[in-house]
Structure 1
Amino acid sequence: MHKNRLVGGAAVIAFLAAAAGGGTWWWRGRNQPAPAPAAPAPAVLPAGMEVSVPGKIRAQNIVQVPPTTDGEVEQYFVEIGDEVYEGQILARIKNQQLEAERDLANEELERAQNRYNLLEAAVIAARLEESRAAADASRARDERARTEKLYARQDLLFREGATPRLVYEKAQKDASAARNEAETAEVKARHIAERVQALSKDMEAARKALEEKREAQESAAEELKAAEILSPTNGIVVARRGAAGEPVNRAMADLLQIATELGALEVVIEPEQAVLDRLPEGSPAVVQIAEMGGEPLPGIVHTVRDGQAIVAFQSPNPAIKPGLSAQVRVKLP
C-alpha cells in the first residue's frame, strides 16, 4: 500500500514538470517577433513600353550675375520671369562705406573748389591792381623825368644868375617830389607784382588740388555706381537670391541667373528608379507642352544621374520659356 502511494506521487510530479515545460515553451513562442514579409520582386518593365513623366522646363545656358560689391540689396528692379536686355539695371547694392567715402569726397571737392575760387578772385583783383600800379609807376617816371629836366635847366640858369631863386627852388622841390613819388610807385608796383606771383602760385597749387579732389570724387561716384548691378546679356531672369535688405557679398556668384539662347531648352524629370535604370543617355524622347497645344517636340536624354533625367530639345516658339511645365514621353529599350 505504501509503495502504491509513492508511485502515484511520482506520477503527479512528472505531470506537473511536463506541464511547466510546455507552458514555458508556449510563452517563449508567443513573445518571438513575427517574421518580416518577403520583399516584393521588382517590377519588370517590358521593352518598348512608353513612359510619360512630368517635368519643368529650364534653359540649357545660364549666365550667373554676382554682386558688384559687398553690402545689402537696396532694391531689385526685376522679377523672376522678366525679360532683360544687356546693360539693364537689375539691382542696386547699398554700401554704407562707399556712400560715406562719396560724401567725404564731395565735401573735400567743395572745399577745394571754394579755395580755388577765392584764390582766382584774389589773383584777378591783384592783377587789376598790378595794372593800375604799373600805370601809376609809368606816369611817375615820366613826371620825374620831366621835373628833373626842368630842374637841371633852372639850376644852370640860376648859376648864371639868369633865373630868380624862387623859380629855381620850386623846380628843385618839384623834381625832388617827383623822384620820391616815382620811387614809391615803383616799390608799390613791385610789391603788387610779387603778390600776384605768390597768389598765382597758390592758385596753381589749388588748381592741382582741385583736380585731385575731383578725380577722387569721380572715383568714389564710380565705385558707388558700381553698386548698380547691370545685366551682362539679353535673356530671362530665372532665379534671384534673397530680397531687398538682405546682405550680399562678391563671393555670391549667382545673386541672379539669366537664361540665354532660349531656343535651347531642357526638361528635368524624376521618374521611378526602375525607369531610370532602363533609360540610357542618348535615348530619343518627345516633349509636350500644354500651353503650346501639346504639339510633340523631339528631344534626347542627355544626362541621367542623381535620380533625375534631363531631356534636351530645341524650342521653335519664343513663347516657350523656362519655368513652364512639360510632359516627357520615352520608350524603354
Structure 2
Amino acid sequence: MKKSITAALATTALIAGGAAFGTLGAAPANADLVTHCVGTAGEVTVPGDLVVPADATCDLTGTTVTGDVRVRQGGNLIGEGVSIDGQVVGAADSYVDLLDSTVTGDLRMNNAYGAVVEGSAIDGRVTSRAGEEAPVGFLFAIEAELGENLTARAGEVYVENSVVAGTVNSRETVYTDIYDTFIDGRLVVGENAEGSMLCAVVVQGNSRITGNAGPVQVGSDGPAADCDGASYWGGNVQVDANTAGVVIDENIVNGTLRLADNTPTAQVGENNQVRGGINGPHEPIPAEEEQLQAFSAQAEADHADTIQNRIDERRAAAQQQVAEAGSANIG
C-alpha cells in the first residue's frame, strides 16, 4: 500500500457560507437554504447547506454543494467527485467517506465513527475529537491534500502519501501512523496508547514525539513497520518519555535530535545524519533477533488493514440503506 509522495501543496483555504434566499412574505431575505439528503444524487448543484439526517445515508456522485454539509448522529455521507464550498461537520457515530472530492472549508469530526479522505483536498482544518465515552473512531487519509492543520484528539490516525500544509498535532489517540507524507509545519505526536510509526516522512518544522505508551518507530524500515525511503526533519526532533521502546534510523535531521526519559533507552541506528548532533541517552540498535519484544508484537498488526475492515463494514451498511432509499431527489 505504501506509495511515494505525488501530491502538491493544497491552495490557501477559502471559507464559503451557505447561499441566502428569500421569498416575499415568507422567510427573511438572509435565511439559509437547507436541503435534507437521504438516498443517492448525481451531478446536480445543491444551493446552500446540505444535512444528512440521523441514522440515514446520503450518497453523492459528482454533486456540488454551495454551502456546508452536516452529518447528524449515526448518519453517513459517501461522496465521490463531489465539491463542497463550505465545511463538513460529522456528529456522534457519523461516518464521512470522501473520494476524489474537494472541500473548501474545514472537516470536523466530533465523537464520530470515522472519516476517510482519499484522493481528496480539504482546504481548511481537519479535526477529530471525542468525548470520554465516545466509541473509538478513526481518521484515514490516503493521497490527501490538507490545506491547514490536522488535529486529532481521539481514535486511530493513519495518513499515507499525503500533503499537510500546516501542523500535525495528534495526542491521546490509539495510535498515529504516518507514511510517505509531507508536513509543511510542525509534528507533535504524544500520549498515544499504541505508539506511532513515522516512516519516509518530510517534516519542515520542529517535532516532538512524547509520552507514547506503545512502540515508536522514527525513520524508515524498522522492526514494527516496512516502508521505503528515509525521513527528513527540517528542525529539531525531540523524543522523550516514551515507555514501550523507540527505534530511530534512516533519518536526516537538520537540527538536533534530543532524547530524554525513554524507557527502555531509545535505540538509534547508524544510518542517521543529524546536523546538530544527538543529545541524550541512547544505544545502538541490536541484531534483529534481539530487538524489543514490543516491536515484534506490533509488527503482526497492520493498522491500515484494521481500519479498512471497519470502513468495509460501515460502507456495506450504508450502501444497503441507499439501496432501500433510492433517489434523494435533491438539486
TM-score normalised over the length of structure 2? 0.21
TM-score normalised over the length of structure 1? 0.21
Q: Give the number of the structure whose alpha-carbon radius of gyration is greater.
A: 1
Which structure has more strand as a fraction of its residues? Answer: 2
